[in-house]
Amino acid sequence: MSAHQELIERFQRLKHHAAASSEAPVIANFTSLLTQVGFYANQIASVVELEGCPPRHRAPRHPIPEALQHAIGIRSHELYLHQAQVYDLALEGKDVVIATPTASGKSLAFLLPVMARLLADEGATALLLYPTKALAHDQAARLEEFDARLGGVLRPAVYDGDTPTAHRAAIKQHSRILVTNPHGLHLYLGWHQQWARLLGGLVAIVLDEAHVYTGILGAQMAGLWRRLERILSHHRAHPLLLAASASIANPREHLAALTGRAVTLVDNGAGRGPRTLVLWDATRHPTLTPTMQSAYLARHLMRHHHQVVVFSNTRAQAEQIALAGSERGHRMLPYRAGYAPATRRRIEEELREGRLQGVSATSALELGVDVGGLDCAILNGYPGSISSLWQRLGRAGRSMQPSLGVVVLGHDPVARSLVASSDLLLRRAPEAGVIPAEHDEVRARHLVLALAELPCPRDALVRDPRQAALVERLLAEGRLIEEEGVVRSAVRFPHLRTPFVERPPSWRLVLARGSSSDVEHLDDAQALREAHRGAILLHLGTPYRVTRIDEERREVHARPESSHHLTIPSVVRTLSRGRLMGSSTRGPLLVEYREGTLTERVASYQELDPATGQTVRHGVRGRSLRSPVATLALVVADPSALGLAEELVPLGLRGLAHAIDRTLPVLAIGDRGDLGSLTVAGAGTPSLVLFHRTRFHPSSLLARVERELPAIIELAASMIAECGCEDGCAFCVLDHGPEDGRPSRAVTLATARGLIAAMPDGPPGG
């Protein structure tokens, strides 16, 4: 029996009682509906049917005030189990994290106990933190409706960079529920005395989408949280924590690492309908690209009256799909970052109300923006993590209705490995959230900010020996000063020049006459790939051709384009060797620290006609992007010492780079994506270079990587050895990279083992 059949059997055992239900025939219909698509060429590689589960309801043990039940329009016995549990735990003073998909009544689970506490005590206040302004505004709108029915006693307000100056004082004086984001909170803590009423009255803090705060961003959030707690105890407030996270492996541990609090985990009780999951092998069609197949699948499903979301991994693909997937009577709009908030709000509303049948999105729709439940989710490519895979698939499913998820996989090695072992994909646990334990620069900056917010006597500050060392260093560097035994920041408001997350200045897209009034901004990397001269880019489903780049004003000028062609850049990344900062030798490895420059350059681009798949022309452009990076190079000075054919070493190093990327979260060094890697072959000394962009985050990440190198390589080797795939997959050694030759498990493992054996400090404890 194949592994795939085994998996299906396993799921069938799970769902045997659901099979008797009336939904079963509808489930089967989704698969047969897919086979009726005009370009069907046997692309269905596997189908898994997941049973639904009924919602569980119960009334909380603690009564909900009558006025509040009226305001939310739900009687207490109609609450979902998780909502009742959160309500009870919160009223008993316990910190909570809910792990639940979007559209499962998560917001109400928080808001109920918050509103109950505020109704019971008129001096009480609450703080709601959302990772983006858009989510904060969504939530505030909802709260305002409830508050109107409660007689306007809660006075919820969004406070962020867009809040008009005229409203600010009133919010500080009167609002009882403040809705903001970490970027704002980070800044407002500098002026906490102005917020004394609100901070002093805090009974609850809601931290939504907590899984977003992972890796370096997680370390920043942990630093911000500690500053917030310190200010709160100064204002004598001890609020509850009500957190929510998408499906990650470790919600409780993640919250503990972020906030230092022990939280009770509450699971989703909303129930869901049966789901059909299909892996679609796009390579079985001779000409249509995976992107076009995703678009046409969406169109087919829309024609059959289903509401569809398609997720792509790039903005350009999301736009293409919206363009190719729409037709008269079946409209699909793109949804992504870069659009004006009003545009996004309009699309969300049309989806919720069912006026829009399709949406083609990027990860921008992964977060909890409320668009209601859709019928079908199509994933144009694997999103890179199991956690995102399920978040995207989870967008399909309204109340208890059957839903469909399709993962469209193309030619790249990662996709091939997923088609070959589809059971692995669906069986894997989601990734864990990670808070790097010792990011010195992050600790340093939050310490300086904290001591600007509230200076502290030196004695109290240096009790912890590690903090003492950091304080000494910051005093020596002049970032802290000491006056009469009290340590404070050298600058009064370091907040003003230390944003929570630094973003490079963006590029503005300037569209020629007759085009959308929407203003779009692109970051450096997007501008490099999508906005070189000659590039065709899509904005709200309309093609434009880039005519001019104004480097000085950071503007990209484009005019409407009549063709429906695409341009695909070929980006070459190179690292300058840069200045040597230090080096050490470990057996056959030379380990070098350098400060270098990463150059990403559009070497050329292809213009394609997506209808025929033909290249219409080639363009050559020299625009490039340079970023300062810190690098850690593992140079294999003597490849023969590794005990495998020398020509295989560069390939093995490439596989190892990918495996190392997956070990960093496990060892709590950083999250995936915190480090980049490049392998360099040729010239006799194959090397693996790990780099970290230093422009905003001076790196102590690399120092930890170097310190724990034997443990990292050892763990990478065991992850590769234990991976259940046949010859290397996305979860062990395969990267999306376009380079030729794919590292196999065997070669990578031999390389890793050769390195471990040859390193004098060997495996940890060895």
Residues in touch with Zn ion (CB under 5 A): 723, 725, 729, 731-732
Are 337 and 305 within 8 A, CB to CB? no
Distances (CA, A) of 100 to 105, 107, 209, 742: 9, 11, 10, 37
Nearest one of 497, 495, 498, 440 to 472, comparing CA atoms: 440
Nearest distance, CB of residue 729 and Zn ion, angstroms: 3
Q: How many CB atoms sit inside 10 A of residue 444's CB?
A: 20
Q: Which is nearer to Zn ion, 72 or 734 (CB)?
A: 734
Q: Which two tokens stand for residue 66?
A: 């009558």
Q: Give CA–CA dist 766/764, Å, rounded.
A: 5
Q: Which is nearer to Zn ion, 396 or 729 (CB)?
A: 729
Q: Determine the angle formed by the axes of helices 745-758 and 709-722, rounding to 10 degrees.
A: 150
- Nearest approach in angstroms of CB 425 to Zn ion is 11
Among 218, 303, 203, 217, residue whose Cα is nearest residue 259: 218
Complex with Zn ion: residue 302 or 659, whichever CB lies closer: 659
Closer residue to Zn ion, CB minimum distance, 87 or 382? 382
689 versus 729: smaller Cβ distance to Zn ion: 729
Q: CA 214, 695, 734 angle in degrees (round to 5)?
A: 55
Residue with tokens 């490995």: 417
Tokens of 132: 């983006």
CB-based burial label for 360 (10 Å; 0-12, 13-18, 19+) = buried
Q: Which helix (H) or strand (E) holds 9?
A: helix 3-14
Q: Nearer to Zn ion by C-beta: 33 or 249?
A: 249
User: Minimum CB separation from Zn ion for residue 732, in Å?
Assistant: 3
What is each CA distance from 82 to 261, 263, 399, in whole angstroms?
20, 15, 16
Say how far apart CA 293 and CA 284 lie, in whole Å: 11
CB of 726 to Zn ion, least distance (A): 8
Output the smallest distance, CB 723 to Zn ion, in A: 3
Of 423, 415, 365, whose CA–CA distance to 394 is shortest? 365
How far apart, in whole angstroms, are the C-alpha atoms of residue 157 and residue 85?
27
The distance of closest approach from Cβ of residue 720 to Zn ion in the complex, given in angstroms and rounded to an integer, is 7
Please report how close the Cβ of residue 70 comes to Zn ion at its closest, in angstroms: 55
Paired tokens of 456: 């502290």
Give the residue with the Cβ less far from Zn ion, 80 or 731: 731
Distances (CA, A) of 497 to 21, 225, 501: 61, 19, 11
Of 110 and 731, CB closest to Zn ion: 731
Q: How many Cα neighbours within 13 Å face the side chain of 462?
A: 15
- Nearest distance from C-beta of residue 656 to Zn ion, angstroms: 13
Integer Cα distance of 114 and 651 in angstroms: 55
Report, in Å, the least distance between residue 636 CB and Zn ion: 23
Looking at the Cβ atoms of 580 and 721, the one nearer to Zn ion is 721
What are the φ/ψ torsions at residue 133 (nearest 5 degrees)? -60, -40
* Cβ nearer to Zn ion, comparing 552 with 722: 722
Least Å distance between CB 654 and Zn ion? 14
**CB of 742 vs Zn ion, minimal distance in Å:** 12
> Closer to Zn ion at the Cβ: 147 or 661?
661
Q: Token digits for 318?
A: 């999301």
